[in-house]
Amino acid sequence: MKVKLWGVRGSVPTTFAPMGIREKIKKVLSQATPKDISSEEAIERFLDSLPFSLQGTYGGNTTCLEVRTKNNDLIIIDGGTGLKHLGAEIMKEDFGKGKGIATMLFTHTHWDHIQGIPFFVPFYIKGNRFNIYSPFDDIKARIEYQQVFSHFPVNLDYMFATKEFFVLEKESEFHLNDIKIINKRMRHPGGCFGYRFEENGKSFVFTSDCEFNIDEIDRIESYAEFFSNADVVVFDAQYTFEDSVINKVEWGHSSASIAIDISLRFGVKKLILWHHDPDHSDKKMDTVLANAKAYLNMDKKRRSDLDIEIAYEGMVVQI
């Protein structure tokens, strides 16, 4: 199984103001020595040595992931603005000829998870087929409603690919060829479902968007099977610790510290922090990751082999 992240931002797409880019350029130039820019290779080496926030950006597009099965079947999770870019990529394949087939799964239909759909070019190409799944009974109506004329000039029916909708039984599992997909209810305003994928003895868990608090041990235990020994978990860590326990309780998101607590409790191997707050700069995200690693290492009695990363656009994870 291979997973590629196309949109990692939560809530609203986040663009970068010109002054922010100028600041980055200034910082990079101030750190460079003549040796660092003496050749193309030296420049590449120098850029690789910088903090991630100065090498580029974590990205501003909202939720969209690509899962490729061992047979290269395409599963798309959610349709935030990252979907537009995924669409441009797959148009180079069968989808550009009207011969593409993909599965789509929706966690929920908050804007940041569906707003890329009107700009998803493969939906416009007759002959392409999309099988669309969600545990929400009215998933078709929700997607259609985004494209009523007062919101967008092209109705979903005028995007000529075949789109068939399937309602999943809540908290159940289903199979797509050799891959097993389990959905699990998450706490989030309006509801949300996480997905666990299992193929060839490997597992990938995607929880967007979700609120967990460590003082609710019983509720967390009910997720034991869902997270159990997952090879990779992509987990909602939109909030800082203070936001999650003081300022934004019941707002429907979690923090890196609870993501780590849950990962340690259920034997997760790799944790990827996800659904970045639109107010967090790239520099802030470097700090979120550094703080998460510090939190993991604070208690020496804890497992230290949990691998923690922070999601960025274009990140590819082989599972």
Question: What's the chain's length in residues?
Answer: 319
Identity of the residue, 145 or 174, whose beta carbon is nearer to Zn ion in the bound complex: 145
How near is the Cβ of 187 to Zn ion at its closest, in Å?
Answer: 11
Count of residues binding Zn ion (CB under 5 A)? 4
Between CA 108 and CA 192 the distance in angstroms is: 5
Between CA 259 and CA 211 the distance in angstroms is: 10
How near is the Cβ of 77 to Zn ion at its closest, in Å?
Answer: 12
Question: Of residues 175-214, which lie at the interface with Zn ion (CB under 5 A)?
Answer: 209
Identity of the residue, 112 or 261, whose beta carbon is nearer to Zn ion in the bound complex: 112
How near is the Cβ of 64 to Zn ion at its closest, in Å?
Answer: 11
Identity of the residue, 10 or 135, whose beta carbon is nearer to Zn ion in the bound complex: 10
Between CA 268 and CA 11 the distance in angstroms is: 26
Q: Which two tokens stand for residue 97?
A: 């000829």
13 binds Zn ion (CB under 5 A): no
Which position among 112, 277, 282, 313 is part of the footprint of Zn ion (CB under 5 A)? 112
How near is the Cβ of 249 to Zn ion at its closest, in Å?
Answer: 16
How near is the Cβ of 109 to Zn ion at its closest, in Å?
Answer: 9
How near is the Cβ of 239 to Zn ion at its closest, in Å?
Answer: 12
Identity of the residue, 12 or 319, whose beta carbon is nearer to Zn ion in the bound complex: 12
Query: Helix, strand, coil % (nearest 5) of the chain?
Result: 35, 25, 40
SS3 assignment, position 80 = coil
Identity of the residue, 112 or 198, whose beta carbon is nearer to Zn ion in the bound complex: 112
Between CA 239 and CA 249 the distance in angstroms is: 10
Q: Which two tokens stand for residue 32?
A: 């460079």
110 binds Zn ion (CB under 5 A): yes
10 binds Zn ion (CB under 5 A): yes
Contact 254, 223 (CB under 8 A): no
SS3 assignment, position 28 = helix
Between CA 142 and CA 226 the distance in angstroms is: 27
Residue ranges that bind Zn ion, judged by CB under 5 A: 10, 110, 112, 209
